[in-house]
Amino acid sequence: MSNTYNIAVIPGDGTGPEVVAEGIKALEAVSRKCGVHFRFKEFGLGGDQYLNHGILLPGEIMEELGTMDAVFLGAIGHPDVRPGILETEILLKLRFNLDLYINLRPVVLFPGVETPLKNKGPEDIDFAVIRENTEGLYVGSGGFLKKGMPDEVAVQESINTRKGVERCIRYAFEYCRKRDKGSHLTLCAKTNVLVFESDLWYRVFKEVHKDYPDISTDYQNVDALCMWMIKNPEQFDVIVTSNLFGDIITDIGAVIQGGLGIAAGANLNPEGTAMFEPIGGSAPKYEGLNKINPMAAISAAQMMLEYLGEKEAATLLLAAIKRVLKDDLKSLEAGKMGYGTKEVGDLVAGYVAGL
């Protein structure tokens, strides 16, 4: 019996639809090869739908997404929509309402890909960031006092629950155990200043560690960790951290692994559904030009195969991705790849068929 999966596709804004199309092309190539099947259902969420119809993320769509095996997202963000609307009402709402409490972002430098770090290669850059994805400074708790007046006050609160912190840290230990690197987990926080929030993270981290004596750990303040990610990235295996710190450090992660053209992430509810996305954003200036790099979206599709437990398919697609990166692309930057968006997708699909 072959497996069939229901995949929700949200192409979204800007170059989202173009890169998602190549991700689907890769999945279809894998499907022909491995007997894993997909039923794709597209949802037209994003800036255009908001501007034309005032629709953001209706409740019935949210419910339907929750019943799918996975969600494949392109990008959310439109130049004509004020920052914050689409992000909070679509992307963050998806993360919160589907309780996708893990944001898993691998930072891996593949052979053939250039890193801006001097004297570092693929053997040095191979770790994963596990970012808490439903709490912290992202919950939208706070408000203004006397908005617009000279003595205006703005409060933005970071909410951290023991349950939320513990399930994230526990997932990180479990994930660390499954990786075949060094089984080392780093907690990233700011205990010297955030004496409530980081204190909770630190105590829970110590407590949960007792259940994982086979895993070594260390603690780093977020500012120092940013420095070490650049200076000695080889020390990292898995990093676990809160929502905003994770957001920030994974941009450093993306750039040291070759840039936004390759960085992908998974928003996971280990007991429910999951959403996969290229980290890059909607890149409106490249929209419709067949110039954007689809490798991040194809990598997101590859993570989806891993998550679905389709090992053979995931391994096959990973091999094709690596081959294109090593043998074909001149650069990962939009317009400089030596190929167009569609042609990069064709290369991946071609290798999948031939492997």
State in angstroms the smallest separation of the CB of 203 from ligand IPM.
Answer: 26
DSSP 79: T
DSSP 294: -
Residue 99 found at the interface with ligand IPM (CB under 6 A) = no
Number of residues this chain uses to bind ligand IPM (CB under 6 A): 3
Interface with Mn ion by CB under 5 A: which range of 125-133, 139-147, 242-250, 323-331?
Answer: 242-250
Exactly one of 42, 64, 87, 333 binds ligand IPM (CB under 6 A); which one?
87
**Residue whose CB is nearest to Mn ion in the complex, by number:** 247
Partner from ligand IPM, Mn ion, none contacting 22, C-beta within 5 to 8 A by type: none
Residue 268 or residue 337: which is nearer to ligand IPM going by CB? 268
Q: Which 3 state secondary structure label does DSSP give 14?
A: coil
Number of residues this chain uses to bind Mn ion (CB under 5 A): 1
Partner from Mn ion, ligand IPM, none contacting 124, C-beta within 5 to 8 A by type: none
> Distances from the Cα of 334 to the Cαs of 78, 263, 284, in angstroms?
19, 14, 12
Residue 31 or residue 103: which is nearer to ligand IPM going by CB? 103
Could you tell me what percentage of the chain is helix, strand and coil, using 3-state DSSP and rounding each to the nearest 5? 45, 25, 35
CA-based nearest residue to 65, from 48, 101, 41: 41
State in angstroms the smallest separation of the CB of 254 from Mn ion.
Answer: 9
**Residue whose CB is nearest to ligand IPM in the complex, by number:** 87
Dihedral over Cα of 268, 272, 277, 282: its sign: negative
State in angstroms the smallest separation of the CB of 247 from Mn ion.
Answer: 4
Residue 247 or residue 310: which is nearer to Mn ion going by CB? 247
How far apart CA 35 and CA 33 sit, in angstroms, is 6
Please, are residues 159 and 170 in contact by the beta-carbon 8 Å criterion? no
Q: Which 3 state secondary structure label does DSSP give 47?
A: helix
How far apart CA 186 and CA 238 sit, in angstroms, is 6
Range 191-250, binding ligand IPM (CB under 6 A): 247
Partner from ligand IPM, Mn ion, none contacting 328, C-beta within 5 to 8 A by type: none
Residue 247 found at the interface with Mn ion (CB under 5 A) = yes
Range 312-351, binding ligand IPM (CB under 6 A): none
How far apart CA 145 and CA 164 sit, in angstroms, is 29
Partner from ligand IPM, Mn ion, none contacting 98, C-beta within 5 to 8 A by type: none
Length of the chain: 355
- The contact mask relative to Mn ion for 191-230 (x = CB under 5 A, - = no) is ----------------------------------------
Query: Which residues are 291's β-sheet partners?
Result: none
Residue 277 found at the interface with Mn ion (CB under 5 A) = no
State in angstroms the smallest separation of the CB of 114 from ligand IPM.
Answer: 23
Residue 136 neighbours by CB distance under 10 Å: 24
Q: Which 3 state secondary structure label does DSSP give 141?
A: strand
Please, are residues 117 and 256 in contact by the beta-carbon 8 Å criterion? yes
Partner from ligand IPM, Mn ion, none contacting 87, C-beta within 5 to 8 A by type: ligand IPM
Please, are residues 57 and 89 in contact by the beta-carbon 8 Å criterion? yes
Residue 18 or residue 247: which is nearer to Mn ion going by CB? 247
Question: Which chain residues interact with ligand IPM by CB under 6 A?
Answer: 87, 91, 247
